[in-house]
Amino acid sequence: IIIIIIMASLLRGKSGAGQQQQHGRQPSEQEAMHLRIKAQFDQAIVRQLLEQATDECFKTCCEPNGHSSSALSGGEKECLTRCLDKFVSAHGSVYQSFVSNVQEIERKRDKQMQQKQ
């Protein structure tokens, strides 16, 4: 129990501003910690997605115009917005494709196993 309390406070210190603890229904300490850990990991994935979208979208929307000014034009901002939406959709397609491919691969594996027996 003591270890769980220590780690929970460690995680509380690290978590972002959006994480509020529920004061209504009390989840078990372990559940609460699991949720915090999960949130950290989800944040990590979103962060990586954003990083990549930023790279690709900067390349597509800003680089072609040269860097004669420090500000973003209105057109560039619109492009960046569209690009982010599109990149997130692309990510969704990849995710769905990934899931169905994993199922397909495991199905083939199972068949291979059965044939060996």
Partner 1 sequence: TIRITDSDHHHHHHPIINRIMSSTVESPELQQYMMKRNQEVEIGKLICQMTRDCWRQCVSSVDRATLGRSENRCMRNCTSRYMNASVFLMDQMSAKGASQ
9 binds partner 1 (CB under 8 A): no
Contact stretch for partner 1 (CB under 8 A) within 5-13, 21-29, 68-76 = 5-13
> Of these, 19, 32, 40, 76, which contacts partner 1 (CB under 8 A)?
40
Binding range to partner 1, per CB under 8 A, among 18-26, 66-74, 102-110 = 102-110
Length of the chain: 117
Alpha carbon distances (Å) from 30 to 21, 89, 96, 104, 112: 13, 34, 31, 35, 40
Stretch that binds partner 1, among 16-24, 53-61, 66-74 (CB under 8 A): 53-61
60 is an interface residue for partner 1 by CB under 8 A: yes
Q: At what angle do helices 2-14 and 29-61 cross, to 10 degrees?
A: 30
Q: Is 48 in the site for partner 1 (CB under 8 A)?
A: yes
Amino acid letter, residue 35: L
Contact predicate 8/29, CB 8 Å? yes
CA angle 103, 105, 106 (to 5 degrees): 65
Other Cβ atoms less than 10 A from the Cβ of 57: the count is: 19
Residues near partner 1 (CB under 8 A): 3-4, 6-7, 10-11, 14, 30, 34, 37-38, 40-41, 44-45, 48-49, 52, 55-57, 60-61, 79, 81-83, 85-87, 89-91, 93-98, 101-102, 105-106
